[in-house]
Structure 1
């Protein structure tokens, strides 16, 4: 006799177990999906932090005011145009087109270039620098001073003599540099393109303008102070624009009493100009000057006693300019002057940059141009020592 045991609730129990199993699997799938989402979010946050840290490692440009506008301008110029050549991102900022010779760099990058130029260009450190909006600069100066006099409180004012004017119009030219970088360097987000470009342009500009400010011929370039007319005559009778010089006393170099010639050179200058005067010479001449002694054996040259303080000669700072000539017959290896009053540099403030990825593939050239001019402004503020008997 067969017995059968019936369990009427077994089917519902099996269904509940199966349902619970499906719920567990579903919850596990949801958990896996959530974990994957969290990992994706973490990866995105990490990537953003890496990008921010790389940007923070770069030197800060610009100032604290208007950072949003300035950063947008720099970002559009650097990331949009310099790195990728997207002209549409900066046309609204610079207003220039390639046919005009390139795009004007943002003020922050231009300030970086100007700062480095001043540090490495010796004459620019000393001279008067004026910013012009157009290609030319002109200034009227009196050749003999403006007449004046003393009168009593109620006395008549006599008519003064009419002053004579002369126009100073520094000749100028296009200064250019053409640094190049590979596209791989530009694609690297960690590559500090702004600092690299400013440094490369400043170095090339400084080399070219340093030679022009000293010996430029004035044809499509500044007129250097050594290329200006020279004369032995004093300030009163010397023609306007010509620089006074004195001889060294020897046809091949310094005389037996060089200190006397250097002292004479200092005191040919008016006392007012001597307050801000400096010596300018190259390192080869300076090596000879450092050996000069007075009759009692004291050195004329005195090293700076504090770090950052310039070396001095007869109490005046010495500036090395390698474009000054060496000591040789008929050369003028030493200049003494107040260049802030004596020499003017006129420049158009905006530096233009044209991106050129085609000329020298795979390198991208950045053709930078800037109009710069220069000329002697007050010839009585600069004196020269010429090697002659």
Structure 2
């Protein structure tokens, strides 16, 4: 059954009612005498979990609604013929004329030893699925390049300026400092398997199967690499860059600023407020929080010490996400859990902070021999990442 706007509104209404129950129970838990705490704590935990379910359900329904409204991809005759020939190759292993059709559609030379390039429409669909399932792709900047590597010049300022009279001389100012940053690239692969029998079945949607299998495998590996990757045969993740406690004015370019919570393995609402306002106002306008589900579970119980209001608020309208201190949240299970010395919470403008670089083209090598009776589809893609602005994101480290 198709998702309708009313479905989203119904879930949003249920989310609001459940949040009211949660606040009431949590307030009672905080104020309860010791004999009642156990029962109320259990009730709060149950309601907190229900909030997570409803919040996720609302987000998923909104994604489904957006997907229904998303226009289909279009292409010319060459692209259509290439796609038809490629899917025939997937099902039957027949590559007659595929190389020529690929060259026409992609305007590139063919290297059949490395497999065949996925048709552009299918390649874009894989990237769309990756964005849907990868938290980092949802919020970070993404570019596609046609070269194996990508570099960018960044201005570090220092040009200088000054005030002069109408007829006064204009002395030369300083030369701005430029730094070159480069994406750390790696080749990611997936090798989904299907039986030849299923591929022969006309009712088996081979295109959708290949899309979803590759997207799932890529997303699992990519998501972790974009956040914590060490840069060896994979992208260098955001949290893999060096960190310092010094502020933006004196910290070296390329270092993230971290704030210590003051308590090993724990933090409170005041730490989040401090993290929020450590980020410059220009970045805060597009700021998002990033943390795993259990950390999000924890912050739902936090209150502003001055007003007594809960700092987490549910999104009660379609298209309105839940918020923390007025800013959206990104649930990312690759983020470190709450523990001593962990970098447990990020806040910032991730589009400014980190860029994901996709090398255009995904390649598939069909292998019906290695794992009979299954047919393997060895799929590869070159992808990288780099931190582009170390002032755009702040890190909360749970240490003294």
Whether contact under 8 Å (1:179, 1:201) holds in the other structure is yes
What SS is found at the alignment partner of 1:135?
Answer: coil
What SS is found at the alignment partner of 1:160?
Answer: coil
* Cα separation, 1, equivalents of 2:71 and 2:207: 10
1:120-164 CA-partner distances (Å, limit 9, x unpaired):
111111111111111110001022354455667877554221111
What SS is found at the alignment partner of 2:358?
Answer: strand
Whether contact under 8 Å (2:158, 2:175) holds in the other structure is no
Whether contact under 8 Å (1:77, 1:89) holds in the other structure is no
Q: CA RMSD in A?
A: 1.9
Whether contact under 8 Å (2:81, 2:101) holds in the other structure is no
Which runs of 5 or more structure 1 residues have no equivalent in the other structure? 1-58
Equivalent in 389, 393, 397 of residue 386 of structure 1: 397
How far has the Cα of 1:337 moved from its partner?
1.1
Q: TM-score, normalised by structure 1?
A: 0.79
Distance 1:91 1:154, change over 3 A: farther
Q: TM-score, normalised by structure 2?
A: 0.77
What pairs with 1:57-72 in structure 2 (closer than 5 Å)?
62-63=73-74, 66=76, 68-72=77-81
Which runs of 5 or more structure 2 residues have no equivalent in the other structure? 1-69, 103-108
* Cα separation, 1, equivalents of 2:71 and 2:394: 42
How far has the Cα of 1:73 moved from its partner?
1.4
Aligned to 1:219: 232
* Cα separation, 2, equivalents of 1:366 and 1:75: 17
How far has the Cα of 1:89 moved from its partner?
2.5
Aligned to 2:277: 267
Whether contact under 8 Å (2:236, 2:385) holds in the other structure is yes
Equivalent in 160, 178, 186 of residue 173 of structure 1: 186
* Cα separation, 2, equivalents of 1:340 and 1:280: 13
How far has the Cα of 1:243 moved from its partner?
0.2
Equivalent in 154, 157, 176 of residue 141 of structure 1: 154
Larger of the two Rg values belongs to structure? 1
What pairs with 1:150-169 in structure 2 (closer than 5 Å)?
157-169=170-182
What SS is found at the alignment partner of 1:293?
Answer: coil
Aligned to 2:95: 87
Whether contact under 8 Å (1:294, 1:300) holds in the other structure is yes
Whether contact under 8 Å (2:256, 2:390) holds in the other structure is yes
